[in-house]
A and B are shown apart, each in its own frame.
Chain A
Protein backbone atom coordinates (compact mmCIF):
# COMPACT_ATOMS: atom_id res chain seq x y z
CA UNK A 1 0.00 0.00 0.00
CA UNK A 2 1.95 3.00 -1.19
CA UNK A 3 -0.77 5.63 -1.07
CA UNK A 4 -0.84 7.91 1.95
CA UNK A 5 -4.53 8.46 1.53
CA UNK A 6 -6.96 6.64 -0.70
CA UNK A 7 -10.70 6.33 -1.08
CA UNK A 8 -12.83 3.96 -3.06
CA UNK A 9 -16.34 4.99 -4.09
CA UNK A 10 -16.50 6.83 -0.82
CA UNK A 11 -19.81 8.43 0.07
CA UNK A 12 -21.23 10.31 3.02
CA UNK A 13 -24.88 11.07 3.50
CA UNK A 14 -26.44 13.37 6.06
CA UNK A 15 -30.12 12.54 6.17
CA UNK A 16 -31.15 12.20 2.54
CA UNK A 17 -28.47 14.59 1.31
CA UNK A 18 -25.20 13.26 -0.06
CA UNK A 19 -22.34 15.49 1.06
CA UNK A 20 -19.85 13.33 -0.82
CA UNK A 21 -20.43 10.66 -3.38
CA UNK A 22 -18.49 8.22 -5.51
CA UNK A 23 -15.20 9.66 -4.46
CA UNK A 24 -12.28 7.56 -5.63
CA UNK A 25 -8.77 8.90 -5.34
CA UNK A 26 -5.27 7.96 -4.40
CA UNK A 27 -2.72 10.36 -2.98
CA UNK A 28 0.92 9.26 -3.05
CA UNK A 29 3.19 9.52 -0.03
CA UNK A 30 5.30 12.65 0.20
CA UNK A 31 3.04 14.73 -1.99
CA UNK A 32 1.36 18.02 -1.22
CA UNK A 33 -2.17 17.80 -2.55
CA UNK A 34 -4.67 20.57 -3.01
CA UNK A 35 -8.29 19.67 -2.52
CA UNK A 36 -10.18 22.24 -4.52
CA UNK A 37 -13.85 22.89 -4.96
CA UNK A 38 -16.61 25.38 -4.28
CA UNK A 39 -18.12 25.68 -0.82
CA UNK A 40 -20.33 22.71 -0.08
CA UNK A 41 -18.46 20.46 -2.49
CA UNK A 42 -17.63 17.95 0.22
CA UNK A 43 -14.05 18.95 0.98
CA UNK A 44 -14.56 19.13 4.71
CA UNK A 45 -16.56 15.91 4.65
CA UNK A 46 -13.76 14.10 2.85
CA UNK A 47 -11.13 15.28 5.33
CA UNK A 48 -13.32 14.39 8.29
CA UNK A 49 -13.80 10.92 6.90
CA UNK A 50 -10.05 10.62 6.54
CA UNK A 51 -9.35 11.44 10.17
CA UNK A 52 -12.23 9.35 11.47
CA UNK A 53 -14.39 12.19 12.71
CA UNK A 54 -17.10 10.88 10.38
CA UNK A 55 -17.99 7.40 9.26
CA UNK A 56 -18.57 6.58 5.59
CA UNK A 57 -22.12 5.88 4.39
CA UNK A 58 -20.72 4.09 1.35
CA UNK A 59 -17.36 2.92 0.06
CA UNK A 60 -14.12 2.94 1.98
CA UNK A 61 -11.34 5.24 3.08
CA UNK A 62 -7.77 4.37 4.06
CA UNK A 63 -5.08 6.53 5.58
CA UNK A 64 -1.53 5.15 5.61
CA UNK A 65 -3.09 1.78 4.88
CA UNK A 66 -5.38 1.93 7.91
CA UNK A 67 -9.09 2.31 8.42
CA UNK A 68 -9.42 5.60 10.33
CA UNK A 69 -12.34 4.26 12.32
CA UNK A 70 -11.69 0.60 12.95
CA UNK A 71 -7.96 1.17 13.50
CA UNK A 72 -8.39 4.53 15.24
CA UNK A 73 -5.90 3.77 18.02
CA UNK A 74 -3.23 3.02 15.44
CA UNK A 75 -4.18 5.60 12.81
CA UNK A 76 -4.81 8.66 15.00
CA UNK A 77 -1.21 9.15 16.20
CA UNK A 78 -0.03 9.18 12.58
CA UNK A 79 -2.60 11.56 11.12
CA UNK A 80 -2.61 15.27 11.87
CA UNK A 81 -5.80 17.20 11.30
CA UNK A 82 -6.44 20.89 11.47
CA UNK A 83 -10.07 21.95 11.29
CA UNK A 84 -11.00 25.14 9.52
CA UNK A 85 -11.88 27.03 12.67
CA UNK A 86 -8.62 25.95 14.38
CA UNK A 87 -10.39 24.83 17.54
CA UNK A 88 -8.37 25.48 20.69
CA UNK A 89 -9.31 25.88 24.34
CA UNK A 90 -9.80 29.64 24.58
CA UNK A 91 -9.12 29.82 28.30
CA UNK A 92 -5.81 27.97 28.06
CA UNK A 93 -2.46 29.67 27.76
CA UNK A 94 -0.19 28.75 24.86
CA UNK A 95 1.95 26.74 27.29
CA UNK A 96 -1.11 24.87 28.48
CA UNK A 97 -2.10 24.08 24.91
CA UNK A 98 1.33 22.53 24.43
CA UNK A 99 0.76 20.53 27.56
CA UNK A 100 -2.49 19.27 26.06
CA UNK A 101 -0.53 18.09 23.04
CA UNK A 102 2.05 16.40 25.23
CA UNK A 103 -0.56 14.62 27.32
CA UNK A 104 -2.62 13.39 24.40
CA UNK A 105 0.12 12.30 22.00
CA UNK A 106 2.67 9.60 22.79
CA UNK A 107 5.02 10.66 19.96
CA UNK A 108 4.88 14.33 20.97
CA UNK A 109 8.00 16.32 20.11
CA UNK A 110 8.07 18.89 22.89
CA UNK A 111 11.38 20.37 21.89
CA UNK A 112 10.23 21.06 18.34
CA UNK A 113 6.94 22.50 19.58
CA UNK A 114 8.69 24.90 21.96
CA UNK A 115 11.22 25.85 19.31
CA UNK A 116 8.44 26.66 16.86
CA UNK A 117 6.54 28.75 19.38
CA UNK A 118 9.73 30.65 20.22
CA UNK A 119 10.56 31.13 16.56
CA UNK A 120 7.12 32.55 15.90
CA UNK A 121 7.45 34.89 18.89
CA UNK A 122 4.28 33.55 20.44
CA UNK A 123 3.93 34.44 24.12
CA UNK A 124 3.71 31.21 26.15
CA UNK A 125 1.80 32.81 28.99
CA UNK A 126 -0.84 34.49 26.89
CA UNK A 127 -4.32 33.05 26.72
CA UNK A 128 -5.27 31.52 23.39
CA UNK A 129 -8.42 33.65 23.39
CA UNK A 130 -6.40 36.86 23.19
CA UNK A 131 -4.21 35.79 20.26
CA UNK A 132 -4.76 37.01 16.70
CA UNK A 133 -6.29 34.69 14.10
CA UNK A 134 -2.91 34.09 12.52
CA UNK A 135 -1.28 33.32 15.87
CA UNK A 136 -4.08 30.91 16.78
CA UNK A 137 -3.64 29.15 13.45
CA UNK A 138 0.06 28.82 14.17
CA UNK A 139 -0.55 27.41 17.64
CA UNK A 140 -3.00 24.90 16.17
CA UNK A 141 -0.49 23.98 13.48
CA UNK A 142 2.28 23.60 16.05
CA UNK A 143 0.07 21.23 17.98
CA UNK A 144 -0.61 19.22 14.85
CA UNK A 145 3.01 19.12 13.68
CA UNK A 146 4.55 18.27 17.06
CA UNK A 147 2.42 15.16 17.02
CA UNK A 148 4.79 14.07 14.24
CA UNK A 149 2.16 12.83 11.82
CA UNK A 150 2.95 11.07 8.57
CA UNK A 151 -0.17 12.52 6.98
CA UNK A 152 -1.29 16.08 7.55
CA UNK A 153 -4.85 17.07 6.69
CA UNK A 154 -5.61 20.79 6.62
CA UNK A 155 -9.15 22.02 6.12
CA UNK A 156 -9.15 25.51 4.62
CA UNK A 157 -6.14 26.35 6.75
CA UNK A 158 -5.62 29.87 5.51
CA UNK A 159 -9.17 30.96 4.68
CA UNK A 160 -9.45 33.16 7.76
CA UNK A 161 -5.94 34.60 7.62
CA UNK A 162 -4.57 37.82 6.18
CA UNK A 163 -2.05 37.51 3.32
CA UNK A 164 1.02 37.74 5.52
CA UNK A 165 -0.24 35.20 8.04
CA UNK A 166 -1.28 33.03 5.13
CA UNK A 167 2.21 33.06 3.72
CA UNK A 168 3.81 32.37 7.10
CA UNK A 169 1.43 29.52 7.73
CA UNK A 170 2.12 27.83 4.40
CA UNK A 171 5.83 28.36 4.92
CA UNK A 172 5.59 26.44 8.19
CA UNK A 173 3.73 23.59 6.54
CA UNK A 174 6.19 23.36 3.67
CA UNK A 175 9.19 23.50 5.98
CA UNK A 176 7.77 20.51 7.79
CA UNK A 177 7.47 18.70 4.46
CA UNK A 178 11.09 19.57 3.70
CA UNK A 179 12.27 18.31 7.08
CA UNK A 180 10.73 14.88 7.03
CA UNK A 181 8.57 12.40 5.23
CA UNK A 182 5.18 14.06 5.36
CA UNK A 183 2.19 13.91 3.07
CA UNK A 184 -0.07 16.96 3.07
CA UNK A 185 -3.64 17.27 1.86
CA UNK A 186 -5.07 20.74 2.11
CA UNK A 187 -8.46 21.94 1.05
CA UNK A 188 -8.81 25.43 -0.26
CA UNK A 189 -11.07 27.61 -2.26
CA UNK A 190 -8.27 30.11 -2.75
CA UNK A 191 -6.65 29.23 -6.06
CA UNK A 192 -3.75 31.68 -6.08
CA UNK A 193 -0.41 30.15 -5.09
CA UNK A 194 -1.71 26.60 -5.30
CA UNK A 195 0.71 25.73 -8.05
CA UNK A 196 3.59 26.97 -5.98
CA UNK A 197 2.63 25.02 -2.94
CA UNK A 198 1.07 21.83 -4.25
CA UNK A 199 2.13 19.10 -6.61
CA UNK A 200 -1.12 17.15 -6.76
CA UNK A 201 -4.65 18.28 -7.28
CA UNK A 202 -8.10 16.92 -6.52
CA UNK A 203 -11.08 18.83 -7.82
CA UNK A 204 -14.29 18.12 -5.97
CA UNK A 205 -17.62 19.44 -7.13
CA UNK A 206 -21.21 18.53 -6.30
CA UNK A 207 -19.81 15.93 -3.95
CA UNK A 208 -17.87 14.05 -6.61
CA UNK A 209 -14.27 13.97 -7.75
CA UNK A 210 -13.89 15.73 -11.08
CA UNK A 211 -10.17 15.50 -11.56
CA UNK A 212 -7.32 13.82 -9.69
CA UNK A 213 -3.64 13.87 -10.56
CA UNK A 214 -0.22 15.50 -10.49
CA UNK A 215 -0.50 19.21 -11.26
CA UNK A 216 2.23 19.05 -13.87
CA UNK A 217 0.35 16.40 -15.82
CA UNK A 218 -2.87 18.32 -15.48
CA UNK A 219 -1.33 21.52 -16.78
CA UNK A 220 0.44 19.64 -19.57
CA UNK A 221 -2.68 17.86 -20.76
CA UNK A 222 -5.13 20.77 -20.80
CA UNK A 223 -5.28 23.07 -23.77
CA UNK A 224 -7.45 25.89 -24.96
CA UNK A 225 -8.42 25.54 -28.63
CA UNK A 226 -9.86 28.29 -30.77
CA UNK A 227 -11.14 27.56 -34.24
CA UNK A 228 -13.98 27.87 -36.70
CA UNK A 229 -17.45 27.52 -35.30
CA UNK A 230 -19.19 24.14 -35.16
CA UNK A 231 -16.13 22.05 -35.75
CA UNK A 232 -16.07 20.80 -32.20
CA UNK A 233 -17.36 17.31 -32.98
CA UNK A 234 -14.11 15.92 -34.27
CA UNK A 235 -12.09 17.28 -31.40
CA UNK A 236 -14.56 15.86 -28.93
CA UNK A 237 -14.06 12.41 -30.43
CA UNK A 238 -10.34 12.56 -29.66
CA UNK A 239 -10.18 14.66 -26.51
CA UNK A 240 -12.33 15.35 -23.47
CA UNK A 241 -14.04 18.70 -23.78
CA UNK A 242 -14.27 20.39 -20.41
CA UNK A 243 -15.79 23.66 -21.51
CA UNK A 244 -17.20 24.84 -24.79
CA UNK A 245 -18.20 28.34 -25.78
CA UNK A 246 -19.28 29.80 -29.07
CA UNK A 247 -18.98 33.23 -30.60
CA UNK A 248 -20.61 34.07 -33.90
CA UNK A 249 -17.77 32.73 -36.00
CA UNK A 250 -15.52 31.10 -33.52
CA UNK A 251 -15.63 28.24 -31.07
CA UNK A 252 -13.44 28.03 -28.00
CA UNK A 253 -12.83 24.66 -26.39
CA UNK A 254 -11.05 23.82 -23.19
CA UNK A 255 -9.99 20.20 -23.57
CA UNK A 256 -8.14 17.56 -21.68
CA UNK A 257 -6.03 16.39 -24.59
CA UNK A 258 -5.24 12.75 -25.14
CA UNK A 259 -1.98 13.31 -26.95
CA UNK A 260 -1.20 16.10 -29.35
CA UNK A 261 -3.86 18.17 -31.09
CA UNK A 262 -2.86 17.87 -34.75
CA UNK A 263 -5.89 19.45 -36.40
CA UNK A 264 -4.53 22.54 -38.16
CA UNK A 265 -7.84 24.37 -38.01
CA UNK A 266 -7.42 24.83 -34.27
CA UNK A 267 -5.06 27.22 -32.62
CA UNK A 268 -3.66 25.68 -29.45
CA UNK A 269 -3.03 27.77 -26.31
CA UNK A 270 -1.44 26.70 -23.05
CA UNK A 271 -3.33 27.22 -19.82
CA UNK A 272 -2.34 27.87 -16.27
CA UNK A 273 -3.68 25.87 -13.37
CA UNK A 274 -6.11 28.48 -12.20
CA UNK A 275 -7.88 28.61 -15.57
CA UNK A 276 -8.14 24.83 -15.67
CA UNK A 277 -9.59 24.63 -12.18
CA UNK A 278 -12.07 27.39 -12.93
CA UNK A 279 -13.17 25.55 -16.07
CA UNK A 280 -13.99 22.45 -14.05
CA UNK A 281 -15.78 24.44 -11.39
CA UNK A 282 -17.70 26.31 -14.09
CA UNK A 283 -18.72 22.99 -15.57
CA UNK A 284 -20.07 22.07 -12.18
CA UNK A 285 -22.01 25.31 -11.91
CA UNK A 286 -23.53 24.76 -15.36
CA UNK A 287 -24.56 21.24 -14.41
CA UNK A 288 -26.18 22.52 -11.28
CA UNK A 289 -28.11 25.13 -13.25
CA UNK A 290 -29.34 22.39 -15.56
CA UNK A 291 -30.39 20.29 -12.62
CA UNK A 292 -32.42 23.19 -11.27
CA UNK A 293 -33.98 23.91 -14.66
CA UNK A 294 -35.06 20.32 -15.35
Chain B
Protein backbone atom coordinates (compact mmCIF):
# COMPACT_ATOMS: atom_id res chain seq x y z
CA UNK B 1 0.00 0.00 0.00
CA UNK B 2 1.33 3.41 -0.95
CA UNK B 3 2.14 5.87 1.82
CA UNK B 4 0.31 8.76 0.21
CA UNK B 5 -2.48 8.96 -2.35
CA UNK B 6 -2.35 11.52 -5.11
CA UNK B 7 -5.43 13.33 -6.30
CA UNK B 8 -5.90 15.52 -9.31
CA UNK B 9 -7.81 18.73 -9.80
CA UNK B 10 -8.55 18.79 -13.49
CA UNK B 11 -9.98 22.32 -13.37
CA UNK B 12 -7.03 23.96 -11.69
CA UNK B 13 -5.17 24.45 -14.96
CA UNK B 14 -1.99 23.29 -13.24
CA UNK B 15 -0.23 20.62 -15.32
CA UNK B 16 -0.67 17.13 -13.95
CA UNK B 17 3.02 16.51 -13.27
CA UNK B 18 3.22 19.77 -11.27
CA UNK B 19 0.24 18.75 -9.19
CA UNK B 20 2.07 15.55 -8.28
CA UNK B 21 5.25 17.46 -7.49
CA UNK B 22 3.36 19.89 -5.27
CA UNK B 23 1.59 17.12 -3.42
CA UNK B 24 4.88 15.36 -2.63
CA UNK B 25 6.41 18.66 -1.54
CA UNK B 26 3.46 19.34 0.76
CA UNK B 27 3.61 15.87 2.23
CA UNK B 28 7.33 16.27 2.92
CA UNK B 29 6.89 19.73 4.33
CA UNK B 30 4.05 18.68 6.57
CA UNK B 31 6.01 15.69 7.77
CA UNK B 32 3.63 13.11 6.29
CA UNK B 33 6.54 11.72 4.30
CA UNK B 34 9.77 11.12 6.16
CA UNK B 35 13.24 10.77 4.67
CA UNK B 36 13.66 7.25 3.33
CA UNK B 37 9.95 6.76 2.69
CA UNK B 38 9.02 5.32 -0.66
CA UNK B 39 6.85 7.34 -3.04
CA UNK B 40 3.98 5.49 -4.73
CA UNK B 41 5.30 3.40 -7.63
CA UNK B 42 4.56 4.56 -11.14
CA UNK B 43 2.22 1.63 -11.58
CA UNK B 44 0.33 2.51 -8.39
CA UNK B 45 -0.14 6.09 -9.48
CA UNK B 46 -1.23 5.04 -12.96
CA UNK B 47 -3.69 2.55 -11.52
CA UNK B 48 -5.25 5.00 -9.10
CA UNK B 49 -5.39 8.07 -11.35
CA UNK B 50 -5.44 6.63 -14.90
CA UNK B 51 -2.74 9.03 -16.02
CA UNK B 52 0.15 8.69 -18.39
CA UNK B 53 3.13 6.92 -16.73
CA UNK B 54 5.44 9.39 -18.41
CA UNK B 55 3.77 12.14 -16.41
CA UNK B 56 4.58 10.35 -13.17
CA UNK B 57 8.14 9.74 -14.31
CA UNK B 58 8.42 13.41 -15.17
CA UNK B 59 7.11 14.50 -11.77
CA UNK B 60 9.56 12.18 -10.02
CA UNK B 61 12.31 13.49 -12.27
CA UNK B 62 11.54 17.03 -11.16
CA UNK B 63 11.54 15.94 -7.51
CA UNK B 64 14.91 14.28 -8.02
CA UNK B 65 16.48 17.29 -9.69
CA UNK B 66 15.08 19.45 -6.90
CA UNK B 67 16.84 17.19 -4.43
CA UNK B 68 13.64 16.10 -2.72
CA UNK B 69 13.63 12.50 -3.91
CA UNK B 70 16.03 9.96 -5.30
CA UNK B 71 15.50 7.03 -7.62
CA UNK B 72 16.94 3.69 -6.60
CA UNK B 73 17.45 1.38 -9.51
CA UNK B 74 14.94 -1.41 -9.54
CA UNK B 75 13.31 -0.32 -6.27
CA UNK B 76 11.47 2.89 -6.87
CA UNK B 77 11.69 6.51 -5.80
CA UNK B 78 12.35 7.49 -2.19
CA UNK B 79 12.28 10.65 -0.17
CA UNK B 80 15.88 11.76 0.05
CA UNK B 81 17.54 11.75 3.43
CA UNK B 82 18.70 15.28 2.81
CA UNK B 83 15.22 16.63 2.09
CA UNK B 84 14.65 20.15 3.39
CA UNK B 85 13.51 20.06 7.00
CA UNK B 86 9.81 20.72 7.53
CA UNK B 87 9.10 24.39 8.02
CA UNK B 88 8.71 24.92 11.73
CA UNK B 89 8.81 28.50 12.85
CA UNK B 90 8.72 30.06 9.39
CA UNK B 91 5.55 28.20 8.66
CA UNK B 92 3.77 29.60 11.69
CA UNK B 93 5.01 33.11 11.00
CA UNK B 94 3.74 33.09 7.43
CA UNK B 95 0.45 31.67 8.51
CA UNK B 96 0.02 34.46 11.06
CA UNK B 97 0.83 37.21 8.61
CA UNK B 98 -1.57 35.73 6.08
CA UNK B 99 -4.31 35.66 8.65
CA UNK B 100 -3.54 39.27 9.39
CA UNK B 101 -3.72 40.12 5.71
CA UNK B 102 -7.16 38.52 5.39
CA UNK B 103 -8.41 40.58 8.30
CA UNK B 104 -7.12 43.73 6.68
CA UNK B 105 -8.70 42.85 3.35
CA UNK B 106 -12.10 42.33 4.96
CA UNK B 107 -11.74 45.55 6.91
CA UNK B 108 -11.03 47.34 3.61
CA UNK B 109 -14.42 46.08 2.40
CA UNK B 110 -13.27 43.33 -0.02
CA UNK B 111 -15.73 40.48 -0.46
CA UNK B 112 -14.78 36.80 -0.99
CA UNK B 113 -14.61 37.13 -4.76
CA UNK B 114 -12.44 40.21 -4.65
CA UNK B 115 -10.07 38.53 -2.21
CA UNK B 116 -9.80 35.47 -4.39
CA UNK B 117 -9.18 37.56 -7.51
CA UNK B 118 -6.47 39.52 -5.77
CA UNK B 119 -4.83 36.37 -4.43
CA UNK B 120 -4.79 34.52 -7.71
CA UNK B 121 -3.54 37.59 -9.59
CA UNK B 122 -0.65 38.04 -7.18
CA UNK B 123 0.04 34.34 -7.09
CA UNK B 124 0.31 34.04 -10.84
CA UNK B 125 2.43 37.16 -11.25
CA UNK B 126 4.73 35.93 -8.47
CA UNK B 127 4.99 32.60 -10.23
CA UNK B 128 5.92 34.29 -13.48
CA UNK B 129 8.71 36.21 -11.79
CA UNK B 130 9.96 33.07 -10.09
Query: In the complex, are there CB atoms of A and B closer than 8 Å?
Result: yes
* CB contact between A178 and one of B13, B16, B46 (< 8 Å): that residue: B46
The CA of A193 and the CA of B56, in the complex, are separated in Å by: 16
B23-66 with Cβ < 8 A to chain A:
42-43, 46-47, 49-56
Judge whether B8 is part of the interface by a CB distance below 8 angstroms: yes
A288 to chain B, nearest CB (A): 31
Given contacts A174-B46, A178-B42, contact A270 B53 (CB under 8 A): no
Judge whether A272 is part of the interface by a CB distance below 8 angstroms: yes
Contact between A199 and B52, CB atoms less than 8 A apart = yes
* CB contact between A272 and one of B13, B49, B52 (< 8 Å): that residue: B13
- Determine the residue in chain A with the shortest Cβ distance to B43: A178
A190-231 with Cβ < 8 A to chain B:
193, 195-199, 216, 219
A9 to chain B, nearest CB (A): 29
Given contacts A174-B46, A272-B13, contact A197 B51 (CB under 8 A): yes
Judge whether B10 is part of the interface by a CB distance below 8 angstroms: yes
Please give the number of chain A residues whose Cβ is less than 8 angstroms from any Cβ of chain B in the complex.
21
A54 to chain B, nearest CB (A): 28
The CA of A16 and the CA of B47, in the complex, are separated in Å by: 46
Judge whether B15 is part of the interface by a CB distance below 8 angstroms: yes
Contact between A197 and B13, CB atoms less than 8 A apart = no
B3 to chain A, nearest CB (A): 18
Judge whether A153 is part of the interface by a CB distance below 8 angstroms: no
Chain A residues near B43 (CB, 8 Å)?
A: 175, 178-179
Judge whether A171 is part of the interface by a CB distance below 8 angstroms: yes
A174 to chain B, nearest CB (A): 5
Given contacts A196-B8, A196-B10, contact A167 B50 (CB under 8 A): yes
Given contacts A174-B46, A178-B46, A179-B43, contact A270 B13 (CB under 8 A): yes
With contacts A171-B46, A179-B43 known, what are 7 further pairs, Cβ within 8 A? A32-B54, A177-B54, A193-B10, A196-B16, A196-B55, A197-B52, A199-B54
